[in-house]
A and B are shown apart, each in its own frame.
Chain A
Amino acid sequence: AQTVTQSQPEMSVQEAETVTLSCTYDTSESDYYLFWYKQPPSRQMILVIRQEAYKQQNATENRFSVNFQKAAKSFSLKISDSQLGDAAMYFCAYQETQGGSEKLVFGKGTKLTVNP
């Protein structure tokens, strides 16, 4: 079974600085998707960024970018120019490709605090 590990239960960053959240995963599949979701306190889970495993180019969405290392099964999230609104739980998630349920397998999350 696929597993996702987030080794940093909590991280903090100063406003306007850069922070990197780590994620590793385990799978025997060669084609899959990886996601970072953000869950603010008492609010819904929001998709931050998505990476397709067959694409070598790292995904980028404005201030958010990933470092995808397929051989190492590593998928870290970099947040640049951190803002107070970035404070939330961040979950890394794995998804199999079409043909199955496409259910998400989540890590335990990293709580990000942004200090003014």
Chain B
Amino acid sequence: DTGVSQDPRHKITKRGQNVTFRCDPISEHNRLYWYRQTLGQGPEFLTYFQNEAQLEKSRLLSDRFSAERPKGSFSTLEIQRTEQGDSAMYLCASSLMRQGASNQPQHFGDGTRLSIL
């Protein structure tokens, strides 16, 4: 079990550029979540996948944001035309959902810190 891996750890970009982050969940986990954490706040839910299906998106996820999990394994989060307000830590988490079993805890990655110049 290598844990949840996120890449890159840090991203600095100019306003208006596109950025893409990657998340590799724990291998047997079928659920994958994206959260955003701004300074002094707790993480806020953005979206989640069960296998390859994106099942819920937060209102925080504007149309400049898109997430994919094409083969039900790793996921990417893309932000187009970045704005100052996109500066935050983007956290990925994964869990194993089994029918009839109790909720399994979410395991988090180290996050990708995005800074918009």
For the complex, is B62 an interface residue (Cβ under 8 Å from A)? no
Q: Are B40 and A44 in contact (CB under 8 A)?
A: no
Closest Cβ neighbor of A45 among chain B residues? B108
Name the interface residues of A75-116: CB closer than 8 Å to any CB of B.
Answer: 91, 93, 95, 97-98, 101-109
Interface size on A, residues (CB 8 A): 25
For the complex, is B2 an interface residue (Cβ under 8 Å from A)? no
Given contacts A33-B103, A95-B103, contact A103 B56 (CB under 8 A): yes
Q: Are B91 and A104 in contact (CB under 8 A)?
A: no
Q: Are B45 and A104 in contact (CB under 8 A)?
A: yes
A106 contacts which of B31, B40, B44, B105 (Cβ < 8 Å)? B44
Q: Report A40 CB to chain B, min CB distance, Å.
A: 11
Q: Are A52 and B33 in contact (CB under 8 A)?
A: no
- Which residues on A sit within 8 Å (CB–CB) of B110? 43-44
- Which residues on A sit within 8 Å (CB–CB) of B93? 45, 104
Name the interface residues of B20-74: CB closer than 8 Å to any CB of A.
Answer: 31, 33, 35, 40-45, 48, 55-56
For the complex, is B17 an interface residue (Cβ under 8 Å from A)? no
Q: Are B48 and A101 in contact (CB under 8 A)?
A: yes
Most buried by B among A33, A35, A97, A104: A104
Given contacts A45-B108, A101-B55, A101-B56, contact A106 B43 (CB under 8 A): yes
For the complex, is A16 an interface residue (Cβ under 8 Å from B)? no
Where the two chains meet, the residues of A that have a C-beta atom closer than 8 Å to any C-beta of B are 4, 33, 35, 37, 43-47, 50, 52, 91, 93, 95, 97-98, 101-109
